[in-house]
Structure 1
């Protein structure tokens, strides 16, 4: 890893040969789609190459570090695909019959939107921006972290804290 950190292509080729099979196997088990698994595996290996300097040998061996990256990437892809499917379903549902009491539903929705906006304003800037990117633009945690130029762990923590604060503010936690 030390050589990979310095940009040694030969060292990376050896690392790739050692971890590519297990990484692909893990990603394939999570995604169950070969083409997506290949894409995610390449993303993982690119992240390993680019992020080699983040590897700390004092915290553990290389293989668990790479497999953790692989698992996170695979889960991110699953979440992204689910969010896309949910958006498609909502779009398809928009073509249904007009509700019977449309005025009441619109008024209730407007009040709900106002409450959500009020609660969003009570979040920190990073929390609010993270929530908006993830839930309104469908970005994964990793994509949110890249967009905000913040560490992935920080974004995940801020998202968790934001969702707890939103739940409490909206009264959904009781």
Structure 2
């Protein structure tokens, strides 16, 4: 997994080429010390911190997100955020590792929620009856004119046109349900609905895009 790069592209290339400076003999800086150095813009400290925390961060993200490719992407986002926001770390509020893992957990949960929301939108769209003709006309009519104007124009429709419009656009029936209630063929109801909406558009002076 490639390290995310702080700063410019040149800085990124240099930081990935240069090995992190070894710690002083007998010293092994932990996340706390490294994060404090990262907060000062120390790229070498970030390289060490990356090597130290990348695996546990990825493990946590993988358990939440489950998708391998997305887990790697979220892990990179987490470590980039660590680089950018290291100055906000406060040791009196918890350990450096806990701070980093909190970021990882939040990012992973956000990714799952985003994916779930997208899936729900697709499912909802799939359940909706496709291809209602002249929906844009109906939306323009309902949003631009007062009810008394609309009633006046509806009164100019034929009985079947008026009933088709009322059932589908005011009472929420599907085309098939409206056809059953009107005891008329489905194709006839769709045609009358289309014609009725066109007449409403012309009566109310709605201009469609």
Q: Same fold (TM over 0.5)?
A: yes
Once the two structures are TM-superposed, the CA of residue 95 in structure 1 deviates from its matched residue by 3.4
Once the two structures are TM-superposed, the CA of residue 102 in structure 1 deviates from its matched residue by 7.8
Once the two structures are TM-superposed, the CA of residue 90 in structure 1 deviates from its matched residue by 1.7
Counterpart for residue 17 of structure 1: 51
Q: Provide TM-score, normalisation by structure 2.
A: 0.47
Counterpart for residue 107 of structure 1: 170
Residue 72 in structure 1 maps to residue 135 in structure 2? no
- Distance of aligned partners of 1:85 and 1:55 in 2 relative to their CA distance in 1, 3 Å threshold: same
How many angstroms apart in 2 are the aligned matches of 1:82 and 1:88? 10
Q: 2:76 aligns with which of 35, 38, 42?
A: 42
- Correspondence list, 1:7-156, <5 A: 7-95=41-129, 103=166, 106-107=169-170
How many angstroms apart in 2 are the aligned matches of 1:108 and 1:8? 65
SS of corresponding position for 2:58: helix
Between Structure 1 and Structure 2, the one with more helix by share is: 1
SS of corresponding position for 1:7: coil
Larger Rg: 2
Once the two structures are TM-superposed, the CA of residue 92 in structure 1 deviates from its matched residue by 1.5
Once the two structures are TM-superposed, the CA of residue 93 in structure 1 deviates from its matched residue by 1.6
Q: Provide TM-score, normalisation by structure 1.
A: 0.56
Unaligned runs of 5+ in 2: 1-34, 133-163, 173-209
How many angstroms apart in 2 are the aligned matches of 1:5 and 1:22? 21
Cα deviation digits, residues 58-105 of structure 1 (max 9, x gap):
11111010001000000000000001101111221223698xx98457
RMSD: 2.2
Unaligned runs of 5+ in 1: 110-174
